[in-house]
Amino acid sequence: MKTRRAFLQQMGMASASIPFLNTGLLNFNREPGDDGPVLRVALMGLGGYASRVAESIQSCKRVKITGLISGTPEKLQTWRKKYNVPESSCYNYQNFDNIKSNKDIDVVYVITPNALHHNHTIRAARAGKHVICEKPLAISAKEGKEMVEACKKAGVKLLVGYRMHFEPTTLEVIRMRSNGEFGSIKFFQGLCGFRIGDPAQWRLNKALAGGGSMMDIGIYALNGSRYMVGEEPVWVTAQETKTDPVKFKAGVDETIQFQLGFKSGATASCLSTYNMNYLDKFFLNGEKGFAEMQPSIGYGPIKGRTHKGAVDAPIVVHQTVQMDEMAAIILDGKKPVVAVDGEEGLKDLRIIEAIYQAAASGKKIML
């Protein structure tokens, strides 16, 4: 009997053959809530993070789980009963294209292994559904670009699960930087890592993960450097360290240090690792002040301080705020402070590819 991992890999690598639908924007036909219309979500991939998202949605004002997609029948039954989802709105990876006729689903939240994002996103778009895709958007910039184009062609929105873009402490530091309270930005440091466990998990399988720590935890430091500095990098250098080639096989990075240069002259120094704990820190330095966040990307609470003192911001459940904000983006056309669209995810992928290239070549890569 095939394992779930093998089944996922087979389904994800297969290319969809359903023609694009010229759907335009979806017609949301639902009962409005006190805070506006409700976004009806189908969760795809019922693993650990999906459980966190599902629980968080229960506190949302504008989001409801109305569909489930999984390759494990037992999970579908358990989740269906827990979240009161009708059997007619439960799908597997073979038949989920049928959601195109399900008027009770507006968006598919793709929470499957990285290598499956491309296939699952394109199929959901072809079914006329908006897509929220977990980060990284894909395992290559080429795939990411195809996903962005597919969603545009289908007339649906593509968002990426960058939960930190809605986190209050993060947004307060961004506000201060935007208002010039730190002066000219000179330097950013992002440290992101943990000791990864089970060596058989998909995150250590290059075919499913597309890499190693950089694709999973390092993307937080990379993305953070961009929204904290407030610029796009123009060059990158990088170095890779591997102490356990058995656990971290070829193509699966254990630790990468990378440096970014910005047009203004600001620089960033970041660390991504699967082999060290207690790494969850951002530091931003400017001519007039600084900001430090530690923890900076964990599930919370995020703690920040600046040259003016502690950052006083609400403590929230990241995924609850993320989903309500994404409902506003999709339903109301709200523009977030920090972008979370497919183009934002594509920018990170292009830089990640440059980081891998720099680490392999030892050269500075211009972006």
Instruction: Find the distance separating the first CA and the last CA of the chain, reported in whole Å.
Output: 46
For residue 45, which of 88, 11, 87 has the smallest C-alpha distance?
Answer: 11
* Rounded distance between C-alpha atoms, residue 347 and residue 336, angstroms: 17
Helix (H, G, I), strand (E, B) or coil at 357: helix
Residues sharing a CB contact under 8 Å with residue 209, sequence separation 6 or more, in sequence order? 113, 114, 115, 139, 202, 203, 215, 216, 252
* Rounded distance between C-alpha atoms, residue 35 and residue 20, angstroms: 33
**What letter does residue 218 receive in the DSSP assignment?**
I
Considering 135, 157, 227, 347, which one is annotated as catalytic? 135
How many Cα atoms within 13 Å fall on the side-chain side of residue 281? Answer: 10
266 and 188 Cβ atoms separated by less than 8 Å: yes
* Rounded distance between C-alpha atoms, residue 191 and residue 28, angstroms: 42
For residue 106, which of 151, 163, 157, 70 has the smallest C-alpha distance?
Answer: 157
Considering 91, 93, 109, 220, which one is annotated as catalytic? 220
Q: Would residue 220 show up in a list of annotated catalytic residues for this protein?
A: yes
**What letter does residue 56 receive in the DSSP assignment?**
H
Q: Would residue 274 show up in a list of annotated catalytic residues for this protein?
A: no
Helix (H, G, I), strand (E, B) or coil at 120: helix
Helix (H, G, I), strand (E, B) or coil at 207: helix
Catalytic residue list: 135, 220
